[in-house]
Amino acid sequence: MSVSPRRLHAPRALTPLRFLAAAACGLTLGCGGPQEEAPAPPEPTAPTPLISRAALFADPAFLSPRLSPDGAQIAFLAPAGGYLNLWVAPSGDPGQARVLTQEATRGLRWFTWSGDGSHLIYRQDDRGDENWRLYALPAAGGEPIALTPSGARAELVSVAAADPGSVLVTINERDRAWPDVYRVTLATGERTLVERNTQSFSNWLADRGNRLRAATKTLPDGSQEIWVRDSRSRDGAGRWRRLSGIAFEDVSMTRLIGFEADGEHIVMIDSTGRDKAALVRMDAVTGEREVLAESPAADVVDVWINPITYAPEAFAVEFLRREWRGLTDAATARLDALDAAFEGDFTVVSRSQDDSLWVVEETGPTRPTRSALFRPAAPPAPTVGPAAMIVGQNAAAAVEAAALFEHYPQLDGISLQPMIAREITASDGLTLVSYLTLPFGSDPDGDGLPDTPAPLVLLVHGGPWARDSFGFDPRHQWLANRGYAVLSVNFRGSTGFGKAFLNAGNLEWGRRMQQDLSEAVSWAVAEQIADPTRVAIMGGSYGGYAALAGLAFTPDLYACGVSLVGPSNLTSLLNAIPPYWAAFRAELHTRVGDPTTSEGRQLLRERSPLFSASAIRAPLLVGQGGRDPRVPRAESDQIVAAVAARRAPVTYLLFPNEGHGLARPQNRLAWYAATEGFLGQCLGGAVESIGADFEGAEVFGLRGAGLVPGLQAVAPRPPRTP
């Protein structure tokens, strides 16, 4: 497969498979005792001036622009009162935007339009507990309407132009594990039961008339089945029947996308009978499947669906970088037009219902995200606001684009570092697609190698069933600016590289998955990229586990480690999974280990850093959300206590009102400020002073704040309880 440098797509949002994926990434420990003192750090190696942490890690100025169905309006997220809120504007005049919500604690992260554009639907949880509650808000302004009850977890199933006044949602109020489906009226919040979930259905698919027509059923062994209902059935009527099975090895590679306009065919991603997931059309009556597109190099990971015909038009695969290919001559012409219109990597993020107007985002490692309105029509299109300009032509389509938003205007004019895609070969022959960013000024001849070996931060992705991708990454830019080489590795078990690569990670937490990371460090040392005496391992969620495992299982490899919401005891982790993950439980037992058997418990104990904590001697920084439903606070409490009992240096920060990751921008800035100071002590990179980065943060220093310069003054111990 040839990889175009420009026909690319930005990383997708998190999928349900990503068990331990960090967001944007009790027991009071360390009370009393001697005063902790920070050791002298190595000499700084990073250049000045420094890019401020606030410029990289504060909320973006604009996020998630989405067109209304008629294309007349555009909604987006942007800060208001210090938090991300929902805004709406005429699509031709975004300067006339008005804010619709007044979130003042955590900010919003997701929304969508109703089928007719009369309402905006968004979700919010309670301080990170992931019990999502859905709200509808009139696009013209007004008070939000709660669509789902407090304390239950709700998910949107579908919106449809054919059913504009209501939506289908799942709510787990009756059964925490197997949610029921309701139709909810947007104007009033009135709910009507559509499907009582008595068959352990885990995912639902509605047709274009907003009728439940397909579902996936999880079986006790972790395999699944696809069930369907006749197109003539009404809500609550018509019998479900089994259409086909999905073997366990294919479960994580299979995804139902949507019904086509005829209501009798389902577009899906599927790896049945092949290693790499393909784009498939399935007959909803017979179950017969037709392969529409596939690649020998990587999985199909994204699809363009025409908003008029609902047919697939183009598909994307991603190996080193994401590449788009058209399925029709018209789609190919549109891709060519986008190539001509945009210099960077692009993705189409929104299309009007008549397909006359798109929102396109453009980005790259040194090109922070910006968005534009785009008209893909062949004849000359009407002007879209005063900024409109013809930016490209080809034989098939006249192209008109209008600048919309600079998502990170604070980075304009700042020199950023290129990202280098590298293929590292593991000792058993697997190819580990990896991404390297070098310190500023370290590679004057541009050969992808620093003049002298640099301190290295191994940045491990969460999931672990996710992947790192090529593109703008503020963490890479931050660390490279401070004087570090940064390496992100798609270890076995990462997604997008076929089911053999994914399933090679089964039961390999702390073993071959961790060995891939160790071998990547050895590669960087052999290539004279990394100074072997100054290597840190850092990550959130599964990446946090990898950091703990790296210090515990390979204590001579790393100079220090940083773990945010990382599990330390795999048995207690799996025993504490939330009830709404019931459909995922068997898959977790197959991929991580089975705590219900003696053999499984032994394996999980061997792979748990907690039980090898006596080997940890390098400095460790731990961060934890107090309300995390995926990795409970006990996971961090117990590893910190075990490490501290051996008198090893450990610093522990608790964010009491956060969940799995840090949603509040003040807390996020505080964490990165603490991490920067910690790495400066360990690796010798440059450090921006803490300054105001802890202002407004809710954080306690439970142990070891004195080991990081300036941290003790801004991260107090929690108040003593009477």
Residue of 628, 636, 637, 693 marked active site: 628
Give which of 234, 121, 132, 131 is closest to 187, Cα–Cα.
Answer: 121
Instruction: Lay out the sheet containing 145-146: strands in order across.
Output: 111-113, 119-124, 133-138, 145-146
Catalytic residue among 9, 265, 476, 660: 660
What residues does 457 pair with on adjacent strands? 486, 536
Distance CA(151)–CA(133), nearest Å, equals: 8
Active site residue 660: yes
541 among known catalytic residues: yes
The residue count for the chain? 722
Is 312 in a helix, a strand, or coil?
strand
Q: Is 607:593 a contact under the CB 8 Å cutoff?
A: yes
Joined together, the tokens standing for residue 207 give: 């047709």
Distance in angstroms (rounded) separating the CA atoms of residues 395 and 310: 26
Q: Give one DSSP letter per residue of 194-252, joined into a string.
A: EE---S-EEEEEE-TTS-EEEEEEE-TTS-EEEEE--TTPPTT-S--EEEEEE-HHHHT
Please pick, among 541, 563, 568, 612, the residue that the annotation labels catalytic: 541
Q: Which residues have CB under 8 Å from 233's CB, separation 6+?
A: 211, 239
CB atoms near residue 312 (< 10 Å): 23
> Which residues have C-beta within 8 Å of that of residue 599, sequence separation ≥ 6?
none
Nearest to 456 by CA among 526, 537, 515, 551: 537
The continuous run of DSSP H or E covering 521 comes out as helix 512-526
CB count within 10 Å of CB 262 equals 13
| Whole-angstrom Cα Rg for the chain | 25
Q: How far apart are CA 396 and CA 376, in angstroms?
A: 10
Does the active-site annotation cover 628? yes
> Which residues belong to the active site?
541, 628, 660
